[in-house]
Structure 1
């Protein structure tokens, strides 16, 4: 459910809370930042929800629940305004300054360090112990990266109790089936009532997600081998047990899991606080990342990525990256242009070269993409090919501008829709879809089919490195919403960042 907000920047709630900015939004609510007019210098988060008849009791229940909680890893609720005549209600709670775990992983591609994962799990178990020991005990039910904040002090906090519930004895299963696919326990979708072990399943899914760089959140065959190089060996059976399908086969309480993790930690003789074990900076990456993914080979994904890079190089420092491990594109273009290119000084094991204002990279060895994204580039263009390697879909989804390259043929439209469903993707507002060699009518047809107007017919341009032409004009249109194009004689500017 998406709804129209009643709040505006500068508006004051109850003569006290002045709205100063947008923090984030979801299908059920919108969260704003607000200044406290009575306590100078104090800021709060204001959660606006539209309460339809079916949701009214849920909003009231969330407020009643939060009022009773007091834990350093949970936000405090300080005010609650019941739904008005139009159904709008407002929760006033602690503003947590930092980044979400999902943003941290987006800014630092690849598996998170094993020590950090252990410390993060221990901190989450602290708050789960508290919730499960509460009277009545509370099941959180939505343990996922976007609901976990890492503060500037590098402490984890659990946010958003929108679908948490009190455990009810004598009830065979949940009245409402809610949770996030990939992180919710099987019983949250039928066949049983959510219980403490449901949250422990979510913890296991979260650990696995962090350990695989966002690629997996459920156990698969051969997972032990995939985790071996990224995780302490002792934690692998713990994760496996947390992710058992049957609740009775999992750990039965948070204390037992915490004991198992402490044992693994002591065997490593490396126990440390979260702030020390996290070698990742909290500041966001400097680069704006554009990821191109083709739904099939031969559609022009690489050709388009070259044209995009040439266009962006006119706006700021740009890197093009050949991401697919088995791709030969980087080597072929380097060999083709070897008399015209200039080496790019780099600390990476993989060298790069410069040509016509663009730095060309083969994917950094050992997956050090995070270092490249925090480098000196304003724009990084990722050529994912057809995404035939592990992590390609995650890099596509977590880029600032995912661009899907597909056929513009009308008869292949259904193939694209099936491909999207098969990959488990859902078109987002920041997506762009490119149709090489397609007519404008094909783009309009696809717009109607997938519900977005950000579909572009890409005209033929034999030389993708030309700084001008019809293709460049279309590419310019792709970026007009996010790129502040300078007028003649003015200094170049950067991307307009949307509030997160």
Structure 2
């Protein structure tokens, strides 16, 4: 319940701070924008709080502590007015112009990019190191998206020290249980006294919240599988350790977490930092690229690519790309699933959305695949259509698994031979050939004709997004050597082995 404020627009505090706007409000406080009547053009944030009776004795000590803070990622607190007879107190602090992390997440639904999450966590750890380094340590106790500001200069600021406190040795638990549900450590609710590792729990909850698009802030069964889709695998055990229920099982200081994140970042840099002169075929080491190309239209190339993406998403982070410049498939899928999809923030020019574990991409700007391939995907499926445009054959040839789709009808088998001759690209050992609705005899005939045993008849499957079926069984057989697992092993076992 919001308390009744005593301030009004135009009111002046101490003949200096004139209230000019409302910034935000909570259950026990309201933050206003104020103009400085002495320093023309200067604006401040004024936090009006209603203090509980049992906190009156501590309020002066807490204010003195906050005024001493000096860190570039903390707003300065320049003035403080003790509670009046009714319990109202006022903090005067820097006005931070920008956007809160909670608003950023609201404007960009879905998981935030992993590099943004890591940079945010590192900057917060710098602040926590500073706070915890005081004697006694200062515990923030309320890390959550609404308390983190992104300035116009794209810098991070930690705001609202309303429930921060100094760590008091010899006290078994906090006098007052405060903190935001879902982000506060268990000990903030009666199981012990909040301490530096309590803020590290809050950091873990915040990272998880960003990585799940605001959906989760505590660890749940199966969370590893969920995070593999868009986070580096090496950050997952870090998040898990931060969110341990017992404080002694977490990282014990902010510096240790910062070092762990720097290692994750260095691993990402080693993968992503390709010299400009690297041959194009070597740029695809990060993600396995499967490129599907139809020798003619109407053969089911897109249907097959969508079914394959759904399977691969069970094995690891997967992306499907509508690569043909004139294709309308991406827009049709997005329109069909409009109410069910999650938009993925990437760039202003690029549209990406997520559905059932697969990220769907429109053709990258200018057809350049480098950024996508250097991302966090394990598998990228390219739907090249019939490939009658510049660059299509190169993408097919240089992919890890070129997958040619041809007609399964006996009388049309010659089409693929003519196509190979016309394109002048003889089949390679890594090629797969798919024949929708083909009989086994048709596959055998084509194997003999083109000299490869990787020709597969593709059974009919009406729903390409169906996770099981005869078509999925064929894909499992096709990729058995790639996955290096038995064809009928569940995806959960695959994830467990990857995480070890």
TM score, norm. by length of structure 1: 0.56
Partner SS for 2:31: strand
- For residues 113 and 72 of structure 2, what CA distance do their matches in structure 1 show? 25
Aligned to 2:75: 75
Aligned to 1:19: 19
Is the CA contact (8 Å cut-off) linking 2:113 and 2:346 kept in structure 1?
A: no
Give RMSD over aligned pairs. Answer: 3.0
Moved more, 187-196 or 125-134: 187-196
Residue 241 of structure 2 corresponds to residue 260 of structure 1: no
Alpha-carbon deviation of 1:229? 1.4
Aligned to 1:174: 174
- For residues 86 and 328 of structure 2, what CA distance do their matches in structure 1 show? 58
Aligned to 1:284: none
Instruction: Report 1:55-454 matches (<5 A).
Output: 55-57=55-57, 59-269=59-269, 349-351=330-332, 362-363=337-338, 367-368=342-343
Is the CA contact (8 Å cut-off) linking 2:172 and 2:192 kept in structure 1?
A: yes
Is the CA contact (8 Å cut-off) linking 1:29 and 1:50 kept in structure 2?
A: yes
Partner SS for 2:206: helix
- For residues 83 and 328 of structure 2, what CA distance do their matches in structure 1 show? 57
Alpha-carbon deviation of 1:348? 8.7
Aligned to 1:458: none
Q: Which runs of 4+ in 1 moved over 6 A?
A: 345-348, 369-375
Residues 238 and 67 of structure 1, relative CA distance in 2, 3 Å threshold: same
- For residues 112 and 348 of structure 1, what CA distance do their matches in structure 2 show? 25
Alpha-carbon deviation of 1:195? 1.0
Alpha-carbon deviation of 1:105? 0.4
- For residues 246 and 83 of structure 1, what CA distance do their matches in structure 2 show? 37
Moved more, 73-82 or 361-370: 361-370
Is the CA contact (8 Å cut-off) linking 2:108 and 2:343 kept in structure 1?
A: no
- For residues 136 and 53 of structure 1, what CA distance do their matches in structure 2 show? 25
TM score, norm. by length of structure 2: 0.56
| 1:180-223 Cα shifts (integer Å, max 9, x gaps) | 11111111112221111111111001000000001111111111
Partner SS for 2:331: coil
Aligned to 2:416: none
Aligned to 2:2: 2
Aligned to 2:414: none
Partner SS for 2:235: helix
| 1:448-474 Cα shifts (integer Å, max 9, x gaps) | xxxxxxxxxxxxxxxxxxxxxxxxxxx
- For residues 61 and 328 of structure 2, what CA distance do their matches in structure 1 show? 54
Is the CA contact (8 Å cut-off) linking 1:350 and 1:362 kept in structure 2?
A: no
Unaligned segments of structure 1, at least 5 residues = 273-344, 354-359, 376-388, 391-500
- For residues 346 and 7 of structure 1, what CA distance do their matches in structure 2 show? 59
Partner SS for 1:122: helix
Moved more, 32-41 or 53-62: 53-62
Question: What is the aligned length?
Answer: 300
Aligned to 2:384: none
Alpha-carbon deviation of 1:16? 1.0
Partner SS for 2:10: coil
Q: Which has the larger radius of gyration?
A: 2
